[in-house]
Structure 1
Amino acid sequence: MDIKKLLAQQVQEALTDIQLITDKPVTVRPAVRPEFGDYQVDSMMALGKLCGENPLVLAARVADALMKNSHSRTMLARAEAVAPGFINLFLRDEWIIDLTGQAANDERLGVARQNAQHIVVDYSSPNVAKEMHVGHLRSTIIGDASVRTLEFLGHRVTRVNHIGDWGTQFGMLIACLEIAENQGDISLSDLEGFYRAAKKRYDDDPGFALKARAYVVKLQQGDAWCREMWRKLVDISMTQNQQNYDRLGVSLSKDDIRGESFYNEMLPEIVDDLLARGIATMDGETAIVYLDNYRNKQGDPMGVIVRKQDGGYLYTTTDIACAKYRYQQLHADRILYYIDARQHQHLMMAWEIVRRAGYVPEQVTLEHHKFGMMLDKTGKPFKTREGGTIRLAELLEEAVTRAHKLVSEKSPQLAAGELETLAEMIGIGAVKYADLSKNRTTDYVFDWDTMLSFEGNTAPYIQYACARITSLLRKAAATEGPLPETFSGTLSFSTETERALAVKLLQFEETLLAVAKEGMPNIMCHYLFELASMFSGFYASSPVLTHQERSRRQSRLALCALTGKVLSTGLETLGIRVPERM
């Protein structure tokens, strides 16, 4: 249940009851301290200013109206107005217990399915003939966490891996592949090496460069042999990329690939349409769209080239085609792009053309969920000691190696197979969580020591909390017998830590909704860290298996079981695996 939304509706009703009608949304948020209640309303300052009433007086009137409403009283023990105009909301224990019991008995943990939208999510987007590097990590795992969250909430999601599989560089690569085949050496295990060799030959050998340019034309014209060589490069690249996806636990597959080549045949029709409707104009042999909302240094509208003088097309034209296809063919209700911040203006300009042409209506959102860069401890882009780009496969291997060493030191009794599995879960999880826990709009510093710590806001800390709860429930099954099939009538509170833990558990749905709306997995990470920390405090202060009263043991075991389910489900929405023991 989305408690924030429910309370906001009650406050809106209270405003109607005191005859204050407004279309300004009411803001309700979890209270930052227990003495401020469970939730706080901070909208009265703005509303008081609008209606010319003292915010504190208005807050008192609304609080009074809330407590006169019978529906509100089923949820609220009290509502109090405090300066300068906040309303502190204290939930009724009985209501919390009832909702917590419902969540514990529900396979969806009390989370309602949303009215399903069809959402297209564009993420990862590596280039062909180049290995994935650390720069692809953020798009890949932030996008995947968004997809998993949206699907859990009940939306229909189409994943799109928009790979760079088209362009002039493929003439160079095909020419180099032809030479390699003639020499009997067509191994492309080192894609980076192959690409560098092709680029060097292109720069140094005029004859090779001439042949490469000719192959570009043949490829674009559909030459069968060039298309065969091109497909070989794409297949080898994506096979290697899939190994990274599988190790990362990312849900992308080959069926999700939509390369630039996919839209190639749409481009002439789009440019012709833009020209015919006067959206684009010809400057010599070049087709350009001028945008009034973007100005150059001289104050003139900026021009976006959609077809070059030689008849070639640019990334902008392809991105226009992408948006058009995703709405008109896939019938998307919402379109999300996980692309780094440096591409923001490029996307905004492409989408302005899309909107002007009517290819995507205003009610369908086009959202650039941009992200910052991964930095080293000196604040510079994360690279090798030699200054090269770190391959993603190498980064993941080092993470697992470091986790293996850490786990073997902490638990030397583990069997070799279990150690390997655990190291994989912890190492990969640590890398992903370290990234996902940061606000995606900012750069962040990559730090091995911090991300693999069992303390603080890290994956190992939360994974350990899950394993700890699993161990506790295993012991309880041996001493108490199976947990009740239903927790109705089982739960009760005897301490503030029990109550606070239950309230935090009930905030799972509103956390999921915030992640889905903003595309910010760090919101879920923060929630899971707070929940794991609260559970640790609860477990330390509230004996579970050793309490004398069976009813109290059963109630606390119910809270433990629900906490474990919420923590593990939350990690699953982030694409992080949960070990049974650590």
Structure 2
Amino acid sequence: MQDWFDLAKKIDSLVLEAAASAGLEDSFTADIRSADPRFGDLQANGALPYAKRNKSNPRQIAQSIVEKLQANQELAEVAELSIAGPGFINFSLKPSFLQKWLTTFSGSEQLGKAAAHLQADETVVVDYSSPNTAKQMHIGHLRSLIIGESICKLLEFCGAKVIRDNHIGDWGTAYGRLFYAYKRFLDEENLQANPLGELERLYKLGSKLAAEDEAVVAESREELVKLQSEDPESMKLWETVNGHSIDGIKQVYELFDIHFDHYLGESFYRNMVEQVYKELEECGLGEKSEGAWVVFHPEHKRFATQPFMYRKSDGASNYATTDLATMLYRAEHFKASSIIIETDFRQKDHFEQLELTTQKWFEKTGRSFPKFSHVFHGTIMGENGKAMASRSGDPVLLKDLIAEAIERAEKLVREKNEEKVAKGQAPLSEEEVAAAAKVIGTGSIRYAELSQNRTSDYVFAWDKLLSFEGNTAPYLLYAATRIKSIFRNFEASELEALAGKASQIETPEELALARKILGFVGVLQQTIETLRPHLLCTYLFELAGAYSSFYNANKVIVSEEAIKARRLMLCQRTLDVLETGLGLLGIPTLERM
């Protein structure tokens, strides 16, 4: 019984065995869930629905199960049992079990071992961020980038082999207009200084001119035809544009310390689409409709009449074609057991149809279909209730957003520094101020994003996300530094000597904190199952609250060495989980702030 999740599974199994031994029918389910802390840690609720189905007394059913469970020696060493209300069976973990767990699982490495079985032997391709080339990254790109990276870190920590694939938009009709403008209006100096800015300017200029002049439209079309036919000169220009684009994109990623394994964009799959056409037609899924090739899904309410078009009437490919080729490549080349794609909610229909089509295609061609998840998110709103934009009305650029976050964070750090000086404490050095500003600034953006339910819209408010109160990155970072300040008063040898002297945890606040720490791996499991990082954020906020209650009620540095040792152990384990959890969100902790 390594953690809350394993413990819940074990108790579920024991309850079912006890129910069978008590003569209950196979229809009985344990229904294990977290309990009201006033009554226990885990609760089995299966007696109530069973009694209702069989018109019997739920409390008597619960009693018959408890009598069998009490005979189980393994369970007796872990938890105490009680019955509440009309048949709720409560399990209160014994302090001795909590103590043993806290002693065993120390540090991120041990916590990782406890969690590694959750995704063991899984190979997961995670497709996120995926911006278009020749365009600057803006606020609309933030959610996919931050959510996707956090999912990768969570899966890796829990034992999966993760492949980060940035499926960039680097092919298609936009290049015709871009090339037209590039050849005529390029500002070489601006390209070197701000490659994405210059390429975006050229694309917008080419689009504007095309809207005003049919001759420009014709010349842009010629540029596109040359590219699609892989004319050497066009391909050389395309490589130049993509090189500048990826360099510019990486500069933004580096500000968040995010790195991808692959940049396999749409262009990578352009020569694989013929196989898609051929196989969909041969296996009977593809059919012609109004000149285009499509797949209907008659079993689906909407997609029975709203088909998945994978080849346009003029014979050209589209997003659906390259996405189908991408699914095939990831399954066969990467041997993916699972594929996760993170985008905004507007692409929900597309990826639902992609999943249905690929599943049927693979089944008909004898391939194994990986588990597929489309992880979608809502919109970031400004404080005016509208989609967040700059004063000019354009989307806020990510590099500008990050710069402003660091600038605002530095102001807060300097204010805190002045308070330290006023209290006679050692202030942070200039190097520490700069490091803290970057961690707090970028961490606050990340945490503001991840602490929201990803499918909901949320309001981006500087005062809220940089606050030292509430469920924010600064609050959690400060909680971690407070704990670290305790250990600065000890030598490593002194802490090592104390480690084996801890007495058994006993105060209500100690027990509540220990139970919250124990729940870490269970929360990771819930987060991975739903791919919703806000569940981990909520847990970390609650953990910090449990620690605050413990610290306020229990003096840590006391004369009794056994009590001091156990309270230091609780401080250390809290810090272990806070640092590990924040790390999975992409937020490093600080020594001082």
2:434 alignment counterpart: 420
1:150 alignment counterpart: 155
CA contact (8 A) 2:108 2:580 kept: no
Matched, 1:138 2:143: yes
2:72 alignment counterpart: 69
What displacement does 1:491 show? Answer: 4.4
1:342 alignment counterpart: 346
CA contact (8 A) 1:491 1:556 kept: no
1:569 alignment counterpart: 580
2:46 alignment counterpart: 43
Q: Which runs of 5+ in 2 are unaligned?
A: 419-426
The one of 358, 362, 383 equivalent to 1:358 is 362
The one of 445, 459, 465 equivalent to 1:445 is 459
Matched, 1:538 2:550: yes
Question: After the TM superposition, which residues 73-222 of structure 1 pair with which residues of structure 2 at under 5 Å, given as runs?
Answer: 73-76=76-79, 78-104=80-106, 107-109=109-111, 111-114=114-117, 115-180=120-185, 186-187=191-192, 188-190=195-197, 191-222=199-230
| CA distance in 2: counterparts of 1:386 and 1:521, whole angstroms | 33
CA contact (8 A) 1:64 1:79 kept: no
Aligned residue for 2:490, secondary structure, equals helix
1:313 alignment counterpart: 317
What displacement does 1:322 show? Answer: 1.8
1:410 alignment counterpart: 416
**1:340-389, Cα deviation, whole Å (9 max, x unpaired):** 11111111112111111126967631111111111122322111233221
CA contact (8 A) 2:107 2:573 kept: no
What displacement does 1:5 show? Answer: 2.6
CA contact (8 A) 2:501 2:561 kept: no
Letter in 2 for 1:518: T
| CA distance in 2: counterparts of 1:302 and 1:486, whole angstroms | 68
Letter in 1 for 2:211: D
2:517 alignment counterpart: 505
What displacement does 1:74 show? Answer: 1.5
| CA distance in 1: counterparts of 2:224 and 2:27, whole angstroms | 57
2:527 alignment counterpart: 515
CA contact (8 A) 1:28 1:42 kept: yes
1:474 alignment counterpart: 488
What displacement does 1:317 show? Answer: 1.7
The one of 375, 389, 413 equivalent to 2:395 is 389
Residues 106, 566 of structure 1: alpha-carbon distance in 2 compared, 3 angstrom cutoff: closer
What displacement does 1:205 show? Answer: 3.3
CA contact (8 A) 1:498 1:538 kept: yes
**1:224-248, Cα deviation, whole Å (9 max, x unpaired):** 2211211222221221111211111
2:424 alignment counterpart: none
Letter in 1 for 2:158: L
Question: After the TM superposition, which residues 367-378 of structure 1 pair with which residues of structure 2 at under 5 Å, given as runs?
Answer: 367-378=373-384
| CA distance in 1: counterparts of 2:216 and 2:24, whole angstroms | 77
Give me the CA root mean square deviation.
2.3
| CA distance in 1: counterparts of 2:443 and 2:429, whole angstroms | 21
CA contact (8 A) 1:334 1:365 kept: yes
Letter in 1 for 2:74: H
Residues 27, 256 of structure 1: alpha-carbon distance in 2 compared, 3 angstrom cutoff: farther
What displacement does 1:271 show? Answer: 1.3
**1:246-290, Cα deviation, whole Å (9 max, x unpaired):** 11132x23x421101111111121112111222111236421222
What displacement does 1:469 show? Answer: 1.0
CA contact (8 A) 2:176 2:223 kept: yes
TM-score scaled by structure 2? 0.91
Query: Sequence identity of aligned pairs in percent?
Result: 35
CA contact (8 A) 2:331 2:369 kept: no
Residues 300, 407 of structure 1: alpha-carbon distance in 2 compared, 3 angstrom cutoff: closer
What displacement does 1:182 show? Answer: 9.5
What displacement does 1:337 show? Answer: 1.3
| CA distance in 1: counterparts of 2:386 and 2:187, whole angstroms | 43
| CA distance in 2: counterparts of 1:371 and 1:48, whole angstroms | 41
1:60 alignment counterpart: 63
Letter in 2 for 1:205: D
For structure 1, which segment, 40-49 or 225-234, has the greater mean C-alpha deviation from structure 2 after superposition? 40-49
What displacement does 1:105 show? Answer: 7.0
For structure 1, which segment, 492-501 or 110-119, has the greater mean C-alpha deviation from structure 2 after superposition? 110-119
CA contact (8 A) 1:67 1:73 kept: yes
**1:116-145, Cα deviation, whole Å (9 max, x unpaired):** 211111111111111111111111111111
Aligned residue for 1:475, secondary structure, equals coil
CA contact (8 A) 1:295 1:302 kept: no
| CA distance in 2: counterparts of 1:564 and 1:164, whole angstroms | 41
Letter in 2 for 1:271: Y
Aligned residue for 1:222, secondary structure, equals coil
Residues 5, 199 of structure 1: alpha-carbon distance in 2 compared, 3 angstrom cutoff: same
| CA distance in 1: counterparts of 2:474 and 2:188, whole angstroms | 50
What displacement does 1:457 show? Answer: 0.6
| CA distance in 2: counterparts of 1:105 and 1:403, whole angstroms | 29
Letter in 1 for 2:106: A
| CA distance in 2: counterparts of 1:132 and 1:264, whole angstroms | 24
Aligned residue for 2:126, secondary structure, equals strand
Residues 69, 185 of structure 1: alpha-carbon distance in 2 compared, 3 angstrom cutoff: closer
**1:70-102, Cα deviation, whole Å (9 max, x unpaired):** 1111211x2222233322111111111111110
Letter in 2 for 1:426: I
The one of 418, 440, 444 equivalent to 1:430 is 444
The one of 477, 480, 486 equivalent to 1:463 is 477
What displacement does 1:53 show? Answer: 4.1
Aligned residue for 2:295, secondary structure, equals strand
What displacement does 1:447 show? Answer: 1.1
**1:309-343, Cα deviation, whole Å (9 max, x unpaired):** 21111212222222222112211111111111111
**1:483-524, Cα deviation, whole Å (9 max, x unpaired):** 127945524213111111111111111111111221111111
CA contact (8 A) 1:292 1:302 kept: no
Q: Which runs of 5+ in 1 are unaligned?
A: none
What displacement does 1:467 show? Answer: 0.8
